[in-house]
């Protein structure tokens, strides 16, 4: 499995909405069906608070993590539409458009033995 990490800004005043978005239990079934489309992925989301802004640090382990990120906004089902809108409102990022510039570059991969 390959690994990709991406940082998304959490827009000012949106941290509580971001936390609710991640904990949205009534949409759990939609999330499970949606995530099955991506195959064997392992997603992690971290909150990084800095003096300048809060960031959501998102990692995905998958056979092709870049493709997994690209697939997030694909689909016209109600869950995907809701998810894409939440990301737009909270992060100011349109998951239906490729990000400007290159994907993050892995510069160090170390494992303690």
Averaged pLDDT of the chain: 88
Could you tell me if 79 and 33 are in contact, meaning their C-beta atoms sit under 8 angstroms apart? yes
- Please give the sequence-ordered ranges of beta strands (E in DSSP) within the chain, or none if there are none: 2-10, 42-49, 54-62
Could you read off the pLDDT of 9-49 as tens digits, one per residue?
999 999 999 999 988 877 877 878 777 777 777 889 999 99
CA-nearest of 21, 36, 35, 1 to 85 is 21
More confident residue, 103 or 13: 13
pLDDT of residue 72: 84
CB atoms within 10 A of CB 64: 16
Report residue 55's pLDDT band, with 50, 70 and 90 as the boundaries.
very high
Is the pLDDT at 98 greater than 80? The verdict is: no
d(Cα 70, Cα 28) in Å, to the nearest integer? Answer: 21
Burial of 99 (0-12, 13-18, 19+ CB in 10 A): middle
- Name the architecture of domain 2-91: 2-Layer Sandwich (3.30)
The pLDDT of residue 112 is 61
**What share of the chain has pLDDT > 70, as a percent?**
97
Q: Rounded to an integer, what is the distance from CA 34 to the centroid of its chain?
A: 13
Phi then psi dihedrals of residue 44, to 5 deg:
-135, 145
């Amino acid at each position: 499995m390959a690994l990709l990490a991406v940082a998304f800004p959490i827009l000012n005043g949106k941290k509580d909405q971001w936390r609710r978005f991640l904990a949205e239990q009534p949409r759990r079934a939609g999330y499970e069906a949606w995530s099955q489309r991506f195959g064997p992925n392992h997603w992690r989301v971290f909150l990084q608070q800095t003096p300048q802004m809060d960031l959501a640090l998102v990692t995905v382990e998958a056979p092709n993590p870049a493709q997994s990120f690209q697939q997030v906004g694909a689909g016209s089902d109600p869950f995907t539409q809701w998810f894409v809108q939440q990301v737009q409102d909270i992060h100011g990022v349109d998951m239906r458009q490729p990000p400007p510039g290159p994907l993050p570059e892995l510069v160090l991969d170390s494992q303690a033995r």
